[in-house]
Amino acid sequence: NAGVTQTPKFQVLKTGQSMTLQCAQDMNHEYMSWYRQDPGMGLRLIHYSVGAGITDQGEVPNGYNVSRSTTEDFPLRLLSAAPSQTSVYFCASSYSQTGANVLTFGAGSRLTVL
Amino acid sequence: KNEVEQSPQNLTAQEGEFITINCSYSVGISALHWLQQHPGGGIVSLFMLSSGKKKHGRLIATINIQEKHSSLHITASHPRDSAVYICAATSGGGADGLTFGKGTHLIIQP
């Protein structure tokens, strides 16, 4: 089983550029989420989805868009990258939306915005 | 909003020592997660518990609901245990219910 697959692992962008971080899972999980991890701070939720066609905002959604057209895929789009979006991004999934299910994380995507 | 505090922030120990990492939270929860992150690596879920104690190999996690406190113990620590350990608490229900601690950076020296 592949689990949660994130691409790319590393990306450098210039301010104002756009890009998409890909996330795919093969476990038929309903719940998927995107987090960012910054030095000295805990993981912070950007957007999440409780099923295909359903998305919602987390704690730090500004500057990011998501969509969930299939159960497997949950891409994160940066529309106009800013240096403040330099971070490590993690995608995660679990069986259902409640926190009482084990989360499976992707390997992370390190993004640098110049 | 739940506040999750971990201590210590950094811990260096010698191989073989018994390790304890603490996690406290401010609001009643339905589950607490312990995660492990190796340097430059991904995040792996170690435990999810809502009461009592769980054990997996040399790792033991305990939770005291009344005191709003959880501990992660590592017995016979080994350099490969060097990692960041993160606790996360949820009040249950609602996909945005997970609050993460800032992590404990553990180094085990040979």
**What are the tens digits of pLDDT across the range B21-64?**
999 998 878 789 999 999 877 899 999 988 999 999 999 999 99
For residue B102, list chain A residues with Cβ-Cβ distance below 8 A.
Answer: 40-42
pLDDT score, position A50: 87
pLDDT score, position B39: 84
For residue A109, list chain B residues with Cβ-Cβ distance below 8 A.
Answer: none
Note whether B92 contacts A: Cβ–Cβ < 8 A. yes
Note whether B39 contacts A: Cβ–Cβ < 8 A. no
Return the higher-pLDDT residue of B92 and B42. Answer: B42
**CB distance B31–A100 less than 8 Å?**
yes
Separation of CA B55 from chain center: 13
Instruction: Reply yes or no on whether the pLDDT at B75 is more than 80.
Output: yes
Percent of chain B whose pLDDT exceeds 90: 72
Least Cα separation, residue B49 to chain A (angstroms): 8
How many residues in total does chain B contain? 110
Q: Residue A24: how many CA atoms within 13 Å on its side-chain side?
A: 7
Note whether A61 contacts B: Cβ–Cβ < 8 A. no
Q: What is the mean pLDDT of chain A?
A: 92
**CB distance A42–B102 less than 8 Å?**
yes
DSSP letter at A108 equals -
Rounded Cα distance, B73 and B59, in Å:
6
- Backbone φ and ψ for A29, nearest 5 degrees, come out as -75, 140
Separation of CA B63 from chain center: 10
Residue A99's pLDDT band, with cuts at 50, 70 and 90, is low
Note whether A39 contacts B: Cβ–Cβ < 8 A. no
Least Cα separation, residue B97 to chain A (angstroms): 6
Looking up tokens 């518990």, which residue turns up?
Answer: B49
Return the higher-pLDDT residue of A95 and B83. Answer: B83
Contact present, B78 and B15 (Cβ < 8 Å): yes
Least confident of A53-57, B44-48, B56-60, B91-95: B91-95
Note whether B9 contacts A: Cβ–Cβ < 8 A. no
**Mean pLDDT of the A21-46 span:** 92
Residue A98's pLDDT band, with cuts at 50, 70 and 90, is low
pLDDT score, position B29: 80
pLDDT score, position B27: 81
Note whether A105 contacts B: Cβ–Cβ < 8 A. yes
Instruction: Reply yes or no on whether the pLDDT at A85 is more than 70.
Output: yes
Contact present, A112 and A11 (Cβ < 8 Å): yes
pLDDT score, position A40: 84
**Structural tokens at position A40:** 């000295």
**Mean pLDDT of the A50-68 span:** 93
Instruction: Reply yes or no on whether the pLDDT at A90 is more than 70.
Output: yes
**By CA distance, what is B41's nearest residue in A?**
A107
Contact present, A111 and A21 (Cβ < 8 Å): yes
Instruction: Reply yes or no on whether the pLDDT at B110 is more than 80.
Output: yes
Residue pairs spanning A and B at CB distance below 8 A: 76
